[in-house]
């Protein structure tokens, strides 16, 4: 079992669903990355999803797109993010999951990318535009490492495909809550909760819900039906506005009120 899955399982076994914030690396300058990581760690998150800015972020909503544009304007790249993370390796103890698109990885080179991730202490990868059918070359590079390739399943995925994706999953299974891009939503349907529970029954790894989860109430409700949640746009916007206490309150209050459902 790789570290990412182990940490999530430990959290759930202790009665706390996993809380994974998403942050855009380099938003506010690459020099702020270490400080933000340490702040999230101190707030009590289970793991941290570190986004890499990209010029064509097809899965990202407006808030994360703007953050990516700000980071790109600072000259932030996949390569220099990984170098910065390597500097933080001794201080950041929570698992780090890099979220990037496939093009920067291919430009980096698969072997070189995986080696750089290993040096930086990365424990997971999320690549939303890498389908299961095309993932074998990267999986081969990841064999023998502690880096989990985290797949996504959508609301429109049929059960047979969900089962195939779940069988390949490492770390956790990322269950997308909406048909569309990231961003805050006002509410979710009861059918979604049924879908999440069905996905959870099919998966041999923990299931975390993401996309559109922004409020404490949504975090708590979604946590009843999954092993945890990923919160992105709200965290990104709060960092941009320097609303650190808003982030701390969301992380800590949500963790305290999560309800474990058998």
Tokens matching residue 125:
């990868």
DSSP character string of 103-168: HHHHHH-HHHHHHHHHHTTEEEEE-TT--GGG-HHHHHHHTTSS-EEE-EE-TT--HHHHHHHHHH
Q: How far is CA 83 from CA 9, 72, 138, 160, in A?
A: 29, 16, 20, 40
Name the catalytic one among 60, 84, 141, 170: 60
The answer to whether residues 42 and 251 touch, using CB atoms and an 8 Å cutoff, is no
Q: Which residues contact 238 (CB under 8 A, 6 or more apart)?
A: 244, 246, 247
49 catalytically annotated: yes
Name the catalytic one among 49, 141, 170, 227: 49
221 catalytically annotated: no
Residues acting as catalytic residues: 49, 60
């Amino acid at each position: 079992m790789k570290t990412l899955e182990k940490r999530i399982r430990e959290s759930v076994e202790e009665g706390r669903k996993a809380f994974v914030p998403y942050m855009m690396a380099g938003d506010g300058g690459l020099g702020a990355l270490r400080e933000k990581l340490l702040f999230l760690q101190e707030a009590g998150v289970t793991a941290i999803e570190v986004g890499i800015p990209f010029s064509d972020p097809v899965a990202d909503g407006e808030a994360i797109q703007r953050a990516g544009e700000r980071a790109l304007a600072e000259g932030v790249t996949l390569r220099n993010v990984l170098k910065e993370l390597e500097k933080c390796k001794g201080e950041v103890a929570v698992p780090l999951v890099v979220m990037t698109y496939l093009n920067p990885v291919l430009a980096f080179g698969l072997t070189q990318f995986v080696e750089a991730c290993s040096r930086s202490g990365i424990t997971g990868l999320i690549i939303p535009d890498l389908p299961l059918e095309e993932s074998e070359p990267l999986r081969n590079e990841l064999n023998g490492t502690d880096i989990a390739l985290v797949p996504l399943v959508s609301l429109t995925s049929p059960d047979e495909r969900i089962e195939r994706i779940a069988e390949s999953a490492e770390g956790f299974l990322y269950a997308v809550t909406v048909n569309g891009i990231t961003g805050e939503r006002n509410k979710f349907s009861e059918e979604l909760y049924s879908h999440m529970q069905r996905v959870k029954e099919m998966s041999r790894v923990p299931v975390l819900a993401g996309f559109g989860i922004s409020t404490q109430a949504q975090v708590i409700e979604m946590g009843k039906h999954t092993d945890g949640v990923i919160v992105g746009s709200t965290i990104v916007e709060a960092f941009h506005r320097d609303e650190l206490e808003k982030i701390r309150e969301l992380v800590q209050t949500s963790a305290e009120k999560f309800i474990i459902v058998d």
